[in-house]
Structure 1
Amino acid sequence: MIELVISQWFIIKFKNKQIIYYIEKPDTPPCTDETKLVILIPIRRYSLNLRNEIRNTYLNETFEGRVTARFIIADPPYSLGSEEQNMLFEEQYKHRDIISFNGFDDVYKNLHLKVMAAFQWKWKFCSNAEWTLKVDDDMAVYIPRLNFWIDNKLKNELKKNNATIFGRIYPNSPRVKGKYDKYFVPDEEFSDEYYPPYMTGPSYLLSREAVKAILIKSKEIVAFHVEDALFTGVFPINSNISLSDQWDIFNNYPEDIVRFSE
């Protein structure tokens, strides 16, 4: 028997758009005072096998409440059959590690909405956690080593600016202008020839104050769907967020790291 949970409403406010959505309120607190790291993994609704791969690999460790990981999904862009929907309910009931945002479709054009909603969820339910890792579903993370670098290197960077994003900086990335390209961004959303330096999207780590700064500044920012350029490029140059290039830690390219595939 699947238990019913209480829904909770949220709103995403950018300068050029406003989205109302709701989530199922967690039936138990997802974080405690001991939680240090929140891992947010945007993934498609139907990717059950991939979620199980991740659960059975780098999330298959006991972190004694210090790490909280959640898969991020949104509304299906098509009508789900009852069997598929029941499988998702059963999966969530078993693992309690999926956040479903209801109010926008789960398509690439809405990835920035999924990530923004995930930041809101983090702040609402895990605000004490100092670190937030956004990681793509085809990446592997060695969490003990990441914690080592946080303790021995990255937290010292916060002495310069406690609102910092860590990752692998991608400089001089041109804006795609082809209207039929997946990464096309129109002039009214971003008009410069090049994006500001930003963190490559497969993974980046945000301090608590960096997440807070994004949430505060969002209503002044024109949003577009190239999520990494938006949150780690446009937001920092319009706020007090710093970027810290840690290319030796965040090896986000195929030749550097093992990727999952379905």
Structure 2
Amino acid sequence: MRDYQRDPKAMAKTLQEFLSGKNISLKHNEGLDLVSRMLGYSDWNTLSAEISNEQPGLCTTIADQDVSDSESPYSPQDTDKFVGYYKQDTLAPMRIFRKDERFFCKETTQPPVEFFQKSDVTFSSEFSHAQINFVLNSMGEVTGLIINDAGDELCWERIDNNIAEGLISTLERRIKFKQPQAGSERALVNLISGILSGNPNYSEMEPKQALALREQFGMLHTLITEAGALESIKFINVQNDGFDAFHVQHELRKFLWVIGITPESNKIIRAWVNAVE
């Protein structure tokens, strides 16, 4: 029997395979977040940081990590062009930085993780088994990166440092004072109402969210309609990625919804739901 607390990726893989047999699609990163919440953590980043802190020798904070014994043919100065901030379809930028001869990736509110250079543009982590591939344009300028983790590819776009620092400051303040995004509750109400009616407004969603909902609509429609009429919504907190968590009470059942919207147009970036026992 595996200790899934220390091997949550195996549990996520098992869950993904089980749901696949029931024609329910679940991406690997979604499985990791779901398993993390089952184990009492807000998301996978929080759980992975906790595991790192509990296991000696794994990457935790900069001060605690040991320098790798293996010699690298690459000069640390060559990595300076990768240093900066990157943004994906979340509200939390990721920072790439170098400390002396060591190279780190840090998501907002999370401990930094050390990466080791494997090629001119490829880095890998000994802790998370993730791999970073930087994207260059025809001029050799770094425009973004792709993180490959257990087969899932996440694309991040490079952004200006001042913009990133402003986003981080806003996120930290929202987390500290539990401030939801303006418009996130209304967007959630519209989403649930659309699922209940069988006619969600896909124009109110970013393309990835619209596609995900189309693929899983049958399962979600059954899940939500069987819970009965919507009775109340209560904001809980702001997640580490900047998305808002809500408890949604229906006539027969309560759900935990997490939703993030674009600050400019209030379109849904991503939303997912779990039942609350």
Instruction: State the TM-score, normalized to the length of structure 1.
Output: 0.30
Question: Which structure dedicates a bigger proportion of its chain to strand?
Answer: 2
Q: Which has the larger radius of gyration?
A: 2
Instruction: State the TM-score, normalized to the length of structure 2.
Output: 0.29
Q: Per chain length, whose mean CA-contact separation is higher, i.e. which structure has more relative contact order (CA < 8 Å, sep 6+)?
A: 1
